[in-house]
């Protein structure tokens, strides 16, 4: 099992419903976020294109945040999900510094927090909150090891990219382009 999220940039309208759903589902404190929307202008005038992306932790296969954590609070579980155990985190911030995606934040309660791929919902057979509310259905979630999963089929049939591939982190969030 290798969980992945696939997001279709051609269908994202930047509404931020995914951000609000995540904040509600995961009690993210006001002023912080586990996911966010980016806007990038591609091309040159007059052929310019606005790319909207819902970004979050990439649940990297080669995760620097896990390698640098001195206590083991940051760890990878079955399915390749990167998690933080709050009561093992000393809040040193090494993982925040090491993440090329700026995906982590210091929680006011003293530990570091980030996207969990809604692990608690997966355990109940539910999709991540952000995926489940997207009004344009541009977010997909599933198992890359299953060739018949929707995510596997999309990555087989569509062009895609990952963010900052040069960082060598092997992200598990893919953007259809």
Between 128 and 142, name the residue whose CB sits nearer to ligand SF4.
128
Minimal distance in Å, beta carbon 47 to ligand SF4? Answer: 32
Contacting residues for 91 by C-beta, under 8 A, at least 6 apart: 106, 110, 111, 112
Residues 135 to 154: which contact ligand SF4 by CB under 6 A? none
CA-CA distance, 126 to 144, in Å (whole number)?
Answer: 17
> Does 118 help bind ligand SF4 (rule: CB under 6 A)?
yes
Residue span 22-41 as binding mask against ligand SF4, x where in contact by CB under 6 A, dash where not: x--xx-------xx------
Ranges within 4-23 binding ligand SF4 (CB under 6 A): 21-22
Nearer to ligand SF4, 116 or 152 (CB): 116
Instruction: Choose between 47 and 124: whose C-beta lies nearer to ligand SF4.
Output: 124
Q: Is 40 strand, coil or helix?
A: strand
118-123 own/partner pairs: CB under 8 Å, 24+ apart: 118/25, 118/26, 119/77, 119/81, 119/83, 121/25, 122/3, 122/79
At 164, list the tokens: 């900052």
Considering the rule CB under 6 A, would residue 175 count as an interface residue with ligand SF4?
Answer: no
């Amino acid at each position: 099992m290798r969980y992945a999220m696939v997001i279709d940039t051609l269908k994202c309208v930047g509404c931020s419903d995914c951000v609000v759903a995540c904040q509600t589902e995961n009690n993210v404190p006001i002023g912080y976020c586990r996911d966010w929307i980016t806007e990038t202008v591609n091309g040159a005038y007059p052929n310019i294109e606005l790319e909207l992306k819902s970004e979050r932790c990439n649940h990297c296969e080669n995760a620097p945040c896990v390698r640098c954590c001195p206590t083991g609070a940051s760890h990878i579980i079955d399915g390749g999900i990167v998690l933080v155990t709050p009561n093992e985190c000393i809040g040193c911030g090494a993982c925040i510094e090491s993440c090329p995606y700026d995906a982590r934040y210091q929680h006011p309660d003293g530990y570091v927090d980030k996207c969990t791929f809604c692990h608690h919902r997966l355990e109940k057979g539910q999709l991540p909150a952000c995926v489940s509310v997207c009004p344009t259905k541009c977010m997909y979630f599933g198992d890359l090891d299953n060739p018949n999963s929707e995510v596997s089929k999309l990555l087989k049939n569509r062009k895609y990219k990952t963010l900052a591939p040069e960082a060598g982190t092997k992200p598990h969030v893919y953007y259809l382009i």
